Structures are given as C-alpha cells and as structure tokens.
Chain A
Amino acid sequence: MQDHTDLSWEWVIGLEVHTHLKTESKLFSPAPVVYGAEPNHAVHPIDLALPGVLPVLNERVVELAIRLGLAIHGTVNPVSVFARKNYFYPDLPKGYQISQFEDPIVSDGWLEIEPEVRGQAKKKAAAGGGGRRRIGITRAHIEEDAGKSIHDVAIAGREDSCIDLNRAGVPLLEIVSEPDMRTAAEASAYLRALRSILRYIGVSDADMEKGQFRCDANVSVRPRGSRELGTRTEIKNLNSFVHVEEAIEAEARRQIELIEDGGTVVQATMGFDPVRRRTSVQRLKENSDDYRYFPDPDLIPLRIEADRIEAVRASLPELPDEKRSRFGSEYGLSDYDAGVLTANRELAAFFEETAKACGSPKAAANWLTRDLLRELRERDVELEETSLTPAILASLIRLVEDGRLTARSAAELFPDLVSDGGDPEVLMRERGLEAVSDAGAIDGLVDQVVEAHPDVVQQIREGDDKPLNFLMGKVMQASRGKAVPAQVRKTLIARIRS
C-alpha cells in the first residue's frame, strides 16, 4: 500500500488501546458488567455518583492487570496510585474519571509482532525468517470507563440527549505503546498480537464490536533518516483493524502532502471517515486540556507484594510466543504453521491434543491450518461452534496414515465431521470409502486404463515419464478416489515396464 513517498518519509505510529477487563463487577462498584442490558439497569449508587458514595477497588482487576503486565514482559510496580482526571461531561457522573496518571500499575513492557505481508513480499519475508519486530509498551494503567451519551433521536426516542450509565465504571486497561511502528500493517499486527495475548491470559474478551477493545492512533511523519519526531496527531476511536490501517494510511498521507505543499502539521485530535477513507481535524490541541490530575484521596495507594506477582506468574498460561517456539522445536513445525496455530489459544490446544492422539503432528498441523481454517472462514464460525474434536481428527488422520483412507476420501469426509462429528471409521464404511489396496482390484483397474490408452503407454515406454500422472489420475478416477495412490503408481509402473 505504501508507495514512492516512503522513500523520503518515515511514518511514526504509537497506539493507545483501551480494553475492557473480564470481571463480574465494575472497577469501583458492585454493579455487574453486562452488555446489552436495558439502559441504566446495571448501575449502583456509586456509578451514579450519589452524594456520600465511595469507590472500593475491585481486586480482580488488579489480578488481571498483573497478568497483562507479566505477559508483556513489563514491570509490575510495587506501588501505583489512582488519580482523578477532572472534566465535566454528562456521561461522567462524578465529574472526574478515576485513572492512574503518574504512577501506573505496569510500565516498560514489549511484545513481538509479525506484520502480515502480502504478495511478493510474503515469499521474501518467509525466506528471511519473517519480519518479527519488538514493539515497546510504555505503560498500562487501570481506569474506569465512562457511560454513553446517546444523541441519536432514533435511539433516544426524543430530541434530548440521553445518558446510559451501564458502562460507567466498567474496568479498563489503557495500554500505551512506544512510537515504534513504522507502517499501518505493523500497527495492525501490534493490535492483533495484543488482542491475542489479552485473550490467551483471560484478561479481556477484547471484542471490538462490543467496544471492549478500542484504539487511538498517534501518527507523525519525518524525513527518512531524521531522528527527531514530527508533530503528531491523534486519531480517536478506531473500532476495527481495517479502520486502524486505513486511518493511519490516510493520516500519514495527509501529513506528507501537507508538508510537501509547504504547510505544517498542527497537534490535533482527528476523526476518521471510513467511507471516504479520510481523516479530518476534530479539535485542535493548542490549548492543552487541563484535567487537574491529583491523587484520589478516597483510595489508598495500590501496593503489590512481590509474592503476589509471583503467584500470578505461576498461574499464567504459556504465552503465544513461547508456545510458538515450542511448537517449532517439539513438533518440528514450520514457523508459519506454528504462528498460525498459536495465534489462538483454543486452536493451539486442539492441535496439541490431536497431535498427541494421532502421533503425526505435521498431518495435524496441515489439517488445521489448511482445511479447518478454511471451513471456519467459509462458515464464519468459531472452532468451539463446530462438532469436530481432537479425537475425531486424530482418528481421521490415522485412517489416512494407515492407508485405509485416501487423502481425497478424507477431504470428502472432513466437512461433515466439522458439521456433525461422528466416528470417521464408521462414516468411511457407511459411504464405502475404504481405500482399495487389494492387489487384484488395483491390477484390474490398471489393466483397463493401460488398454484404453496405448499411445500414452507407448510414450512412457519411450522414456517420457510425464504422462504417468495422467494415467495415475485415470486409475484413481476409476477407483472413485479410493485406490491407495502409492500402490497404484507401483502397479502402473510395473505394468508399463513389463
């Protein structure tokens, strides 16, 4: 997507992610965290900021923040402080948001990304061992979400604006990256990697459609080779990976054009119009907002003992990166296959169970990365929604490995196993798909094909092996795919050479 302008300009991208934490109740109140409830029904006096209420920290949130901190190789700070960010807005009941400012719970982390490369670049990247890059994470801090203001007459049902406070007080982690990304694809790869980690460690469902995973992008450009950062703009509320990429592309190009036309970039908050694929200035930041942050006197500093951190560390599952390299060394998988299988914790577990049950990790990897993922894509479903189990897939693989089912017949059975499950062996028998390895039966088929194509046989006999596959195909066709290919080939060659 990037063109000649890349030769003279470097893009500098940093991302701020807000992710809802997976908790039963809110950050500072006992109200439940639910999606789609009737407006203002998942609220407690604390969320409404009634006179006399006080916040009490949900300890589960601390647990989850520590998990994330460890998973991104960050420092979990022994003392962090909740601060009030003061501003007036109708969906902010207290008139301040409780956040962490000077002392966040997590600092100095990183994660590795592998940008998805397309076309020609893909082969190059694969040959070079991939374009893995480390992206720094400045900090992650705990804060509460605001409610929702609904200005839409159709939804609100009236001319006034309406407020829904169900979301007010829902716990968030704000995860702030270093300005380490240089392309829109890297930005999107970072978000995918982060989302994958969040889901792996059970910190967040990070469902973008539910607003559980929201992204602001800081973008600036600078002449290639320059070490100084250009003036940045912030694109707010990007709610899909595609939009993140498109918005960054559009904004970087806007800045480059502006500078090349003799203009200067001014610090601003940008909005992104996904239809026109254009960013536009929403608000200038020349009068920097004064949020009058100060430590919240209703909450004592959050102290985290070292043994609590160690206990969380011990409870962490294997992370995607660790799993990926283990899949390489333990199962002999390619980096690509290992990467695909570990992107999703459920898929990785499915693979391991299948591999153990069938004894053939490579076959298991092939089935999963090619056939299964294609089925999921086509049906637009999740792995958990199918009827396929590791035992079923392992049994299918074993039938093939044992020569009792051809790859072609297996591929024919597979979609039904995904839909309905069942025992592949039983299904194979019911459909009469058992492989034909009986010498007599194959001899007969080979004889038929050889007799029907004397000219091709002659060609081979004269030393041209190419048409052998044509004859193979004919025999396989005649067996309706059930003949064991290796045996067919052996018999064919013997018959022609005889």
Chain B
Amino acid sequence: MAKADSLLAGDLSDLRGALDRRDCSAVELVQASLDAMDARADLAAIVFRRDEAALTEAEAADERIASGKPASPLDGLPVVLKDNIVQAGEPATCASRILEGYVSPFDSGVVERLQRAGAIVVGRANLDEFAMGSSTENSIHGPSRNPWDPERACGGSSGGSAAAVAAGLVPLAFGSDTGGSIRQPASFCGVVGFKPTYGRVSRWGLVAYASSLDQIGPFARRVADCALALEAVGGHDDRDSTSLPEVVPPLRSRLDGDVSGLVVGLPKEYFAPEGAQPGVLARVREAIGVLEGEGVRFVEISLPHTAYTIATYYIIATAEASSNLARFDGVRYGRRAEHPKDLLDLYERSRSEGFGAEVKRRILLGTYVLSAGYYDAYYVKAQKVRTLIRRDFEAAFGECDAILTPTTPETAFALGAKAGDPLSMYLSDVYTVSANLAGLPALSVPCGFVDGMPVGLQLLGKPLDEATILRIGDAFERRTDHHRQSPPGPPGSPGTD
C-alpha cells in the first residue's frame, strides 16, 4: 500500500510501469486513491465517490493486466471527473442545488472512452456552479481549497479536479474549460492543465454552460500525461455536431524534447507590466529564458483586439448560458419548489431556490443581451469581435508556431477575496478566454512559485495543432523541476518534504 500511495503522486508512466511489473495492483492503487480522498477531505475537492464500483472495476483491470492484455496505457488507473461530466448511475449536481438528487441515466462520451481504456473513475470533483466562476467557491458543496495553501482558492471552475491532482488523490482528472476553467486552476494548483482545440473532445454528456466555448480536457502532473489523456478521450463523436472529424494524431511519440528552431510569439498585450503581478511575469520570463536555451526563437507579436476579449466572452457565454440553463425548470427532474400555486410560481421558485447568485447573474446578463432591441448591439457585435479576435490569432500564427503568455495575472487569491466583486473575478480569466473565443488548443504548465504559490505559463497553439504546444511544454518540463514540487500534506500530518 505504501508503494501505491507514493506512486499516486507520480506520473502516469511510473504508475503504468508499476502495474505492469506487478509492483502494485489496480485495486491497491484505487484503494490508495480512496484513502487519499479521506485524508484530504479538508480540501473539499471530491464531492462524490465510487468506492465500491471503482474497486470492482479495479479487480477486472487487474485480471486484464495479469493476462498480459491491458486495455490501454490507462488500464487500472484512477481518475476523477468534474461533476458536470455525466456518468450513468452517478449524480451530476454541477454544484447546483437545482440538480440535487439527479442521477444521470447515460454516460458521457468521455466516460465511455475512459472505460474502454480501462481507466477507473473513483470520484467526482467540485466546481463552480454550472462551471461559472474562477474560484470553486460558488458550490453547494462548499469551496474547494488550494493544496498549497488551504486559505487560498484553487481556482475554477474546475478547481476540484486541479486540487485532486495537485494533492496526489489521483494522477489524472478531467475538467471543462469555457474561458480558462482548466488552465487557471491548473496554474493556481501547480499542475498541468490542457484545453484541446474546440471540438476535439466530445461534449456529449458535458452539462453545457456555453456551448460554443466549452471543451473538456485533462489535468495531470506531466505534459506527457495530458497528451496520453487526449489520445484516449479525443476524436470524433457522432452525437456532438460540433465534434471535429479529424483523427487525433499520435501525440506522446512526438514529445522528444527537441524544440530547436520553433518560433514562439509573445503577445505584447499580455506582457503589459500593469497587467500581471511582477512575480508572475518574472517566472514567465525565466521560462522564456529556459526555452531560448533549447533553441526556441521568441518573437514579439500583437493581438490587437485583446482589450475586448473579456467583454466579448461575457456576452457570448452568458447569452448561451441563459438558454442552456432554461431546461432546469423543476418540471422533469432536479429541484422543484414545493406546493407551487401555479405554473409561473413553479418556475420562479424552483429556479430562484435552485440557482446560486453567480448563475442568476449570468442568466440575467445573457437574457438581456439576447433581448429585442439589444441583440444587435450586444450579441451580434460580440460575434463580430469574436471573428476579429480569431483573425488576430490567424495573423499571429503566420509568424510563429505557438504563443506563450502567463496563464493568470496573479497566483491563487485568498478564499473570499473576490467573492463580492464579480468583475475582478472575471478579470482573472483575462489571459485564458481568447483561446476559447478562437477555439485554440491551450496548455498551462507550472513554471515556478511566487511566495510559495505556483505560477503557470500558457502555451496557445494553432487549431488542431496540440502536438506543438505539448512538445514545448514537455521540453520545458525536461529542463525544470517545478512539476516535481508537491504541496504540503494534510493538516496535522508530518510534512511530506
């Protein structure tokens, strides 16, 4: 067990090797993961567990491994899912009161592919309600905590997934990224977070926040593990009309550490001194130095419409959300107000009682921007700006193979620090939302610490070119040891390092 316990904090290839050499069993790994969840209940990272089912599945994985026929490199490995990615027979609260008690009758595309690969879903991770937020504080399950400092936020909205990987509960977790909801918490928690190209991973079974921006992606401790995860869950799905037809190319085999000759753009708008904490900019500049040493050539580029990205995002995302969340009406499933006096009362009270403040705020915003008389001025205008933002990137990628920026302007903020100030919360996504608006693949890789809190650098790639940013991220890892740092253990336990 001790073996499995320590392995959990390692990367997927270590775990694979241990399983294949029979140093430990899948059952032991899953049990270690479940035990770690117990030990780190203080983080509130995991909101539902599958102890029994996971152990049963682990036994089956052990049989496959014993017979020398593992289903895939993920066979027998424990993973967690953000609680907005549905699995048959499991709850999917999306951290909302309105979905309390709901159990999904079907599997998401991601769950199907993970199960086919032999991966074992051990639990479901906390999030901001319906993935709306940047701190995992807007949750009926309470705020998740940052493993590096429990008084700080773990970021969001996929904060539970990020914290689970950072704290060594699982080696791999899945979240969803609509405006930075994978990359920002990855950066805050010191793990790798990866949002593939829009349409790469099926949205079938992802509870929609903003359909044209949502994308599922992995968290892991190594870039190579994120590459493996996309190989496992990516690719076309007939049930998602926005799913891309292209086959996911082999990704891990391209991670050879050689990045010489690659040209990486540095958008000047993202490096403005007033935009980010000096410490964050310093860590990112150090990372640039490391990559320069590997032969990467950096060029300054411009993304002229950067100033409009947050406004554009909050119009499009809230417009789509206002419609996507209309189905939560108390009629067919989820929370229904008691003793409604008529239909309107049923709707009003079910939704008033069921949704939290941030969700209501976004539904109202979205309803407003779609309303007659405002539609052209807001929604249509935002779509036009979205096109301009996409063109900024097309032009930039004429000059470079990838773009590097800080992932977030600052390190993890204190819990509650922004709770009363939605605008400042929205601005923490300033570097990440453009990738969603343009549909680009984006990766956040740990690049050091400021005052003991992790910093992430973000790599943006051309559409469908996940390979290049994974290669750069992997090469950076090979020359640095930021990803090997572990947060302190649970309160009251002897320090791990």
Give the B-binding residues of A (Cβ under 8 A): 45, 48-57, 84, 86, 88, 90, 93-96, 163, 288, 290, 292-294, 297-300
Contact = CB atoms under 8 A, between A and B. Distances in A.
A163 B240 CA distance: 28
Nearest to A87: B326
Contacts of A294: 319, 323, 370, 375, 379
Interface in B167-222: 203-208, 210-212
Contacts of A56: 238-241
B204 A95 contact: no
A86 B210 CA distance: 15
B239 A95 contact: no
Contact of A298 (B102, B211, B370): B211
Contacts of B329: 88, 90, 95
28 contacts: A48-B332, A50-B104, A50-B105, A51-B84, A51-B94, A51-B99, A51-B207, A52-B84, A52-B206, A54-B208, A54-B239, A56-B238, A56-B239, A56-B240, A56-B241, A57-B241, A84-B323, A86-B322, A86-B370, A93-B332, A95-B329, A96-B323, A292-B367, A292-B370, A292-B371, A294-B323, A297-B242, A300-B242
A90 B102 CA distance: 19
A297 B372 contact: no
Contact of B86 (A52, A86, A94, A300): A52
Contacts of B323: 84, 86, 95-96, 292, 294
A290 B85 CA distance: 32
Which 7 pairs, one residue from A and one from B, show the smallest C-beta to C-beta distance?
Answer: A95-B326, A297-B212, A292-B370, A297-B211, A49-B327, A52-B205, A51-B207
Interface string B335-379: 000000001000100000000000000000001001110010001
Nearest to B368: A292
Interface of B: 84-86, 92, 94, 99, 102, 104-106, 108, 203-208, 210-212, 238-242, 319-320, 322-323, 325-327, 329, 331-333, 343, 347, 367, 370-372, 375, 379
Contacts of B99: 51
A49 B207 CA distance: 11
Contacts of B242: 297-300
Given A290-B371, A292-B367, A54 B326 contact: no
A298 B209 CA distance: 11
Contacts of A86: 322-323, 326, 370
A95 B241 contact: no
B238 A50 contact: no
A89 B210 CA distance: 22
Contact of B108 (A52, A95, A163, A297): A52
A54 B332 CA distance: 17
B104 A51 contact: yes
B343 A90 contact: yes
B241 A299 contact: yes
A292 B319 CA distance: 9
A294 B327 CA distance: 17
Contacts of B375: 292, 294
A54 B241 contact: yes
A93 B331 CA distance: 8
Nearest to B330: A90
Contacts of B240: 54, 56
Contacts of A293: 370
Contacts of A94: 326-327
Nearest to A94: B327
Contacts of A88: 326, 329, 347
Nearest to B106: A45
Contacts of A288: 372
Contacts of A84: 323
A57 B241 CA distance: 8
B204 A52 contact: yes
A90 B343 CA distance: 9
A94 B328 CA distance: 8
Nearest to A91: B331
A96 B327 CA distance: 8
A56 B207 CA distance: 16
B105 A45 contact: yes
Contacts of A93: 327, 331-332
Given A88-B329, A95-B326, 11 more contacts: A48-B332, A51-B84, A51-B92, A56-B240, A95-B329, A292-B375, A294-B370, A294-B379, A297-B210, A297-B211, A297-B212
A163 B331 CA distance: 10
A292 B325 CA distance: 14
Contacts of A290: 371-372
Contacts of A298: 208, 211, 241-242
A172 to B, nearest CB: 19
